[in-house]
Amino acid sequence: MSKFKKLGSALALFGALVVVRPAGADATEWALDGSHSRVGFSVSHLVVSSVSGRFKQVSGKVELDEANLTKSQVEISIKVDSVDTDEAKRDEHLKSPDFFDAKKFPTIAFKSTKITKAGGNKYKLTGDLTLHGVTKAVTLDATISEPIKNPWGKMVRGVKLSGKLKRGDYGLKWNKALETGGVVVGEEVTLDIQVELNK
């Protein structure tokens, strides 16, 4: 066999190996199902109660490393204009420059940077959260279900995320003082996120 034929055979074998065993062969892509996902939040109101809301339009993808979930990657995108607190007048205020300023900052984005195990199916998900033009690292508590097949033949998984952040860290500082002490809107925001993933 000539040198050229040997070289050609070697390259063909290398190409076959690359196809059969690509980098991250254990990683599978899962799409976020926006119609079965909920990005919820709550914040103190008038000191004595709280207001809950959600963002109705969310999308994203997850690269799950089936052999080691801590090597997975998560990306989520949320449309600010989809905020919904069951009160139209309040929602318009939240979209205004006093709060999210939806026209100037139309998207909230999250991209994972680190995932660590916390026992069983529990994890700590750390990533960069970009909100109101500010990017800061946040860590969320996460749980993930085992994959199941739905009645339409698709493999699905459920993910629950929870955590807290300070809205002032992202420049969301609008408030009014109360005569009795305290302020109208609390500083700490509680996150309650439930996501369904489709393979």
pLDDT at 153: 86
Q: Is residue 16 part of a domain?
A: no
User: Looking at the predicted structure, is the pLDDT value of residue 17 above 90?
Assistant: no
The SS3 call for residue 10 is: helix
In a domain, 60, yes or no: yes
**Residue 182 above 60 pLDDT?**
no
Among candidate residues 41, 76, 80, 48, the one with its CA nearest the CA of residue 159: 76
Q: Is the pLDDT of residue 62 over 70?
A: yes
**pLDDT at residue 23 in the model:** 41
8 Å CB contact between 191 and 52: no
CATH number at 70 reads 2.40.128.110
Asked whether residue 15 is assigned to any structural domain, the reply reads no
Q: What is the model's pLDDT at position 28? A: 92
Note whether residue 8 is domain-resident: no
Q: Is residue 161 part of a domain?
A: yes
Domain of 77 in residue numbering reads as 24-198
Residue 120 tokens, joined: 């069983």
Q: What is the tens place of the pLDDT at every residue in 69-103?
A: 999 999 999 999 999 989 899 899 889 998 899 99
pLDDT in tens, 132-166: 999 999 999 999 999 999 888 889 999 999 999 99
Q: Is residue 152 part of a domain?
A: yes
| Residue 13 located in a structural domain | no
User: What is the mean predicted confidence (pLDDT) over 172-178?
Assistant: 64
**Which of the four pLDDT bands, split at 50, 70 and 90, describes residue 15?**
very low
Using alpha carbons, list the distances in angstroms from residue 69 to 27, 116, 159. Answer: 9, 9, 13
Specify the pLDDT at position 123. 96
Q: Characterize the bridge pairing of strands 58-65 and 27-32.
A: antiparallel
Total number of domains in the chain: 1
Answer yes or no: is 10 within a domain. no
* Average pLDDT across the chain, whole number: 83
Please spell the DSSP secondary structure of 57-78, one letter per residue.
Answer: -EEEEEEEETT-GGG-EEEEEE
